[in-house]
Amino acid sequence: MKRRHFGVIALAAGAALALSACSSGAGGASGDSGSGPIKIGFSQVGAESGWRTANTKSLKEALASDNGFKLTFSDAQQKQENQISAIRSFITQGVDAIVFAPVVETGWDDVLKEAKDAEIPVILEDRSVDSDPSLYTSRVGDDFEKEGETAGKWVADNFAGKSANLVVLEGTTGSAAANDRTTGFNQAIKGTDVKVLDSQTGNFTRSEGKTVMEGFLQKYGKSINVLFAQNDDMGLGALDAIKAAGLTPGKDIQIVTIDGTKDGLTALADGQFNYVVECNPLLGDKVAEVVKAAVAGKKVDKLYLAKDEAFDQAAAEKALPTRPY
């Protein structure tokens, strides 16, 4: 499989949403006047994984001064309260636009209303929220539900007619990525021979992935023959636990993950993972494009989705030499 370059599918918004997107960009003084760089406040979830590191790098490069921006960056360290404080600080500073990757889906209404009242466009990066869409301008991200569905279909297809005893390492509880990947995966395995023994959060981190997998192995032992890790890092952590239990990852326990980082594809190429679904982190250029349009008062779509691939062992070997993250 040949990995396509990053691309974006724009999903057309309704007329009312488009108008709200335009009006929300009316207050960008620096961006509208052309008198200086566009002032951006960017609140990132944290640095929980290799994917997140690549995502942050992409955003920082795209929102750099040589591209016409003045960036203020905030690391939320996985805490929603930190993001809310950062967004309120950005509003007080009078930034031209706010970009943030929400830690969880819920609990954003008040601060988004404050940004809207201040006429500051808000761009959701990566993850989504369950707030009224009129409270934010646009989202640039990946289709998490489709990623989960693709992973689930692989498991269902490869264990058709067989006994599949599966455990799941979930992402951060309440996050859009974890919620949607779970929905897509469960839909794909519905009515199949796949039995879910257990499902627990590993918080998208390698260390917690290892800890939770150790617990699964202590509880279910060799009856586990499939692992679905909702990101590469948790899957990589699980490798250590599987090996410590005297089992061979990729054989005794087949592993499907989501992300497509170099580390994840390396594990796949080495036969320790069995299938990896991509979640493209290189969203920076599209975010910068949407921010510039919104600040200038131009119409933007409500949703832009990156193109994702899926990899088997041969595709991973082919992709690795030029993998950018």
Smallest Cα–Cα separation from 148: which of 308, 318, 322? 308
Considering the domain 8-142+280-308 in this protein, what is its CATH number? Answer: 3.40.50.2300
How high is the pLDDT of residue 34? Answer: 52
**At residue 23, does pLDDT exceed 70?**
no
Of the chain, the percentage scoring pLDDT greater than 70 comes to 89
Strand partners, 200: 169
Assign domain 144-279 one CATH number from 3.40.50.2020, 3.40.50.2300, 3.10.129.10, 2.40.50.140. Answer: 3.40.50.2300
Q: What are 56-72's pLDDT values in tens digits?
A: 999 999 999 999 999 99
How high is the pLDDT of residue 115? Answer: 98
Q: Is the pTM of this model over 0.75?
A: yes
Q: What are 73-115's pLDDT values in tens digits?
A: 999 999 999 999 999 999 999 999 999 999 999 999 999 999 9
Q: Could you state, in order of their start, the residue ranges of all structural domains in the chain?
A: 8-142+280-308, 144-279
How high is the pLDDT of residue 12? Answer: 36
Tell me the average pLDDT of the chain.
91
Q: What are 281-297's pLDDT values in tens digits?
A: 999 999 999 999 999 99
**At residue 30, does pLDDT exceed 50?**
no
| SS3 labels along the chain | CCCCCCCEEEECCCHHHHHHHHHCCCCCHHHHHCCCCEEEEEEECCCCCHHHHHHHHHHHHHCCHHHCEEEEEEECCCCHHHHHHHHHHHHHHCCCEEEECCCCCCCCHHHHHHHHHCCCCEEEECCCCCCCHHHCCEEEECCHHHHHHHHHHHHHHHCCCCCEEEEEEECCCCCHHHHHHHHHHHHHHCCCCEEEEEEEECCCCHHHHHHHHHHHHHHHHHHCCEEEECCHHHHHHHHHHHHHCCCCECCCEEEEEEECCHHHHHHHHCCCCCEEEECCCCCHHHHHHHHHHHHCCCCCCCEEEECCCEECHHHHHHHHHHCCC
d(CA 239, CA 250): 9
How high is the pLDDT of residue 13? Answer: 36
